[in-house]
């Protein structure tokens, strides 16, 4: 099921291909900061991701300041990272790369 907690080993295996994401095992969240060329690109990224998040009924915890977007992903009902978080994170990576984002963390 896509909303069952993933093990730290499963998350580590996923992160082998998504190195820009950090995992906070204590808080059980994936974290990443995206840096864009300007505010419009950052806000455009958030808009595209918001539409996909709504389709998935799975919403990020995030904030925006000028050209950066800080993201935390976890499935609150599971109290952990699930396949839904990995799916949304991979989607974010795809769009951010297309918009020329740089990983800060």
Q: What is the CATH number of the domain that holds 21?
A: 3.30.1360.20
Residue 49 inside a domain? The answer is yes
**5-59 pLDDT, tens per residue?**
999 999 999 999 999 999 999 999 999 999 999 999 999 999 999 999 999 999 9
- Look up the pTM and report it: 0.91
Pairing of strands 22-24, 61-65: unpaired
**Domain of 20, in residue numbers:** 8-103
**82-97 pLDDT, tens per residue?**
999 999 999 999 988 8
Q: Which SS3 state, helix, strand or coil, does residue 98 take?
A: helix
Count of CB atoms situated within 10 Å of the CB of 88 = 21
Domain count, the chain: 1
CB 80 within 8 A of CB 67: no
pLDDT of 105 higher than 90: no
**46-75 pLDDT, tens per residue?**
999 999 999 999 999 999 999 999 999 999
């Amino acid at each position: 099921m896509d909303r069952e907690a993933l093990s730290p080993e499963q998350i580590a295996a996923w992160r082998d291909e998504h190195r820009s994401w950090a995992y906070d095992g204590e808080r059980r969240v994936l974290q990443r900061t995206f840096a864009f060329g300007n505010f419009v690109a950052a806000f455009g990224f958030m808009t595209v991701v918001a539409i996909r998040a709504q389709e998935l009924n799975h919403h990020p915890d995030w904030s925006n300041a000028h050209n950066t977007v800080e993201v935390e992903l976890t499935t609150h009902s599971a109290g952990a990272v699930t396949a839904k978080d990995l799916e949304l994170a991979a989607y974010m990576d795809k769009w951010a790369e297309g918009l020329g984002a740089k990983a800060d963390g």
